[in-house]
Amino acid sequence: MDTSLKKPIVRTIILLVVLVIILVVSNSNTTLNIFSIVIFFALIALVWFKYLQLKNSSSSEKEPSIPIIESVPEPIPVTPTALKQEEKKVTVDEDDEIRTRTGAACEKSGRYVCKDHPKRTVKMQEGNRFPPCRGDKKGHSTVWILRD
């Protein structure tokens, strides 16, 4: 038997047993009997309503969905050795562009542009660390390219 089905069955049985005990103890007080019956049937209905709601929500999660792929920016290194390694990652391409990463120290002063957001530039002085790009109104690690 499904384990998620066991709980509502056990709760229903417990509620029915308590209802029978209340009806036996009440000594033919009809108002109390009717009130008890109504309350206990409402509680049983609530137990099964919650079970059906849980079952429907879990079955809708099992339907295949279209995966959402988001690009995850590379994290900024936090250890001193990682920072030193990032500083050494300044490269020169065939086009004689100097490229470096967020968090690395600037080795050549000038205006740098974000690889992902060409409209985002930063003027750097030698020795300063490159900031994150704010191209999506949210800071992200990027490659900075020297333009002038």
At 65-77, the pLDDT tens digits run 555 555 555 655 5
**Domain assignment present for 69:** no
Radius of gyration, alpha carbons of the chain: 33
C-alpha 54/C-alpha 74 separation (Å) is 38
Residues 125 and 88 grouped into a single domain: yes
Handedness of CA 56, 62, 65, 71 (dihedral sign): positive
| pLDDT band at residue 62 under the 50/70/90 scheme | low
Residues 139 and 93 grouped into a single domain: yes
Task: State which residues form the domain around 56.
Answer: 3-61
pLDDT at 67: 56
**45, HSE (Cβ side, Cα atoms, 13 Å):** 6
Measured in whole angstroms, the distance separating CA 76 from the mean position of its chain's CA atoms is: 20
**Domain assignment present for 75:** no
**Domain assignment present for 55:** yes
Residues 142 and 100 grouped into a single domain: yes
C-alpha 95/C-alpha 24 separation (Å) is 93
pLDDT in tens, 100-129: 888 889 988 899 999 888 888 889 888 899
**Domain assignment present for 42:** yes
**Domain assignment present for 17:** yes
**Domain assignment present for 106:** yes
What pTM, to 2 d.p., does this model score? 0.38
Q: What is the mean pLDDT of the chain?
A: 77
